[in-house]
Amino acid sequence: MALDPDRTVRGLLFDRDDTLVIDVPYNADPHRVVPVPGAHRAVERARAAGLRLGVVTNQSVIAKGMATREQVDATNARVDELVGPFEVWCVCPHDAGDDCACRKPRPGMVLEAAERLGLPPESLVVIGDIGADVGAAVAAGAQGVLVPTPRTRAEEVDAAPTVADSLEEAVALVLGHVAAVRA
State pLDDT tens for residues 142-151: 999 999 999 9
CA distance 83 to 92: 20
Backbone angles phi, psi at 143, to 5 degrees: -110, 155
Q: Determine the average pLDDT of the residues in 129-144.
A: 97
Q: Determine the average pLDDT of the residues in 104-111.
A: 98
Spell out the CATH class of 11-182.
Answer: alpha beta
Q: Determine the average pLDDT of the residues in 120-132.
A: 97
- 19 CA to centre of own chain: 7
Model confidence at 91: pLDDT above 80: yes
Annotated catalytic residue within 17, 18, 129, 133: 17
State pLDDT tens for residues 22-47: 999 899 899 999 999 999 999 999 99
Model confidence at 179: pLDDT above 70: no
Helix, strand, or coil (residue 28): coil
pLDDT at 183: 42
Label the pairing between strands 143-146 and 124-128.
Answer: parallel
pLDDT at 15: 98
Tell if the pTM clears 0.75, that is, is over it: yes
Percent of the residues in the chain that have a pLDDT greater than 70, as a whole number: 97
Q: Determine the average pLDDT of the residues in 146-173.
A: 96
Closest Cα to residue 121, out of 102, 101, 140?
Answer: 140
Check the CA dihedral 171-111-3-133 and report its sign: positive
| Active-site residue, 15 included | yes
Q: With cut-offs at 50, 70 and 90, classify the pLDDT of residue 101.
A: very high
CA distance 55 to 42: 14
Gap between the terminal Cα atoms of the chain: 21
Backbone angles phi, psi at 161, to 5 degrees: -70, -30
Model confidence at 129: pLDDT above 50: yes
Task: Give the per-residue SS3 of 60-125.
Answer: CCCCCCCCCHHHHHHHHHHHHHHCCCCCEEEEECCCHHHCCCCCCCCCHHHHHHHHHHCCCHHHEE
Domain ranges of the chain: 11-182
pLDDT at 176: 83
Closest Cα to residue 46, out of 156, 158, 145?
Answer: 145
Closest Cα to residue 167, out of 179, 175, 178?
Answer: 175
State pLDDT tens for residues 66-76: 999 999 999 99
Q: Determine the average pLDDT of the residues in 78-89.
A: 96
Model confidence at 131: pLDDT above 50: yes
Model confidence at 181: pLDDT above 80: no
Annotated catalytic residue within 4, 15, 18, 95: 15
